[in-house]
Amino acid sequence: MARPRTALLSRDIIGRAAIELVESGHELQLVPLAKRLGVSVSSLYHHVDGRDGVIHAMREVLVVEYVTPVPAADGWEDAIRREVELMWRMYADHPRVLQLMLTVVIDEPGALRFYSTLTDALDRAGLPDDEILSTIEVIDAFSFGAALDALSPDTILQSERTSGKLASLLPRRATGAVRNREVFDRGLDLIIAGISARVREARDGPKSPSRDPGRQGGLRG
């Protein structure tokens, strides 16, 4: 067979098969990928630019699937929660794909909407202009890190080697997807609460700092 009248492959088909392959615990390798598609390895190169091209195709599939229109929210908090929830689901459902994307520069589509929605929400919340972008990046970095947390084993610490308060807490800890979701929810709650506090602080004027002025105010790294 050469040049079938209806194409066997496409970026989309390759991307989906690659996601399946990786998410089922295998390495991203072209040989197993081609076998899974019933095709020879060199055929892939007609649709995709090598292994990195496959990674891009994987991302395109996920973006189409996850970056859907989101209903407008009433408050800034909800706007943030809805937008981040979407990004989070994409990350958390496919942590192994996420890991691969680290190795390739991504020309991020979808990031545009993420950034502008969050910009408007934080602006509406009353956050000072010069803190908006870094705050968005905090949210993004956290979602990212929390999703990758899903790849780490459940028991980083064996409770035998611990003592004190920590030892008493470890046995009660959730595991797997439940723990992972807990971490995400907790983090988003904390960050949003932190933003609220920061907004209040900025509104009440910089002349009444709530903390020791030598310590607070960040960004003098």
C-alpha distances in Å from residue 189, one per residue of 10, 87, 159: 41, 16, 28
> Can you say how many angstroms the Cα of residue 106 is from the centroid of all Cα atoms in its chain?
13
Q: Does 188 bind a second copy (CB under 8 A)?
A: yes
Using CB under 8 A, which of 20, 52, 108, 204 touches a second copy?
Answer: 108
User: 3-state DSSP call for residue 169?
Assistant: helix
Size of the site for DNA (CB under 7 A): 23
- Per partner kind, with CB cut-offs from 5 to 8 A, the member of a second copy, DNA, none near residue 179 is a second copy
CB of 214 to a second copy, least distance (A): 12
Cβ–Cβ < 8 Å for 86, 47: no
- Which range touches a second copy (CB under 8 A), out of 5-13, 31-39, 59-67, 190-198? 190-198
How close are the terminal C-alpha atoms of the chain, in Å?
63
Q: What is the DSSP letter of 216?
A: -
Q: Does 31 bind DNA (CB under 7 A)?
A: yes
Token pair of 157 as six digits: 């610490």
Residues 4-23 that bind DNA (CB under 7 A): 4, 7-9
* Residue 10 CB coordination number (10 Å): 12
Site string for a second copy, 18-57 (x = CB under 8 A): ----------------------------------------
Using CB under 8 A, which of 20, 49, 52, 182 touches a second copy?
Answer: 182
Size of the site for a second copy (CB under 8 A): 74
Q: Does 104 bind DNA (CB under 7 A)?
A: no
Residues 126-155 that bind DNA (CB under 7 A): none
* Residue 139 CB coordination number (10 Å): 22
User: 3-state DSSP call for residue 206?
Assistant: coil
Cβ–Cβ < 8 Å for 143, 90: no
Task: State the residues that interact with DNA by CB under 7 A.
Answer: 1-4, 7-9, 28-32, 39-43, 45-47, 50-52
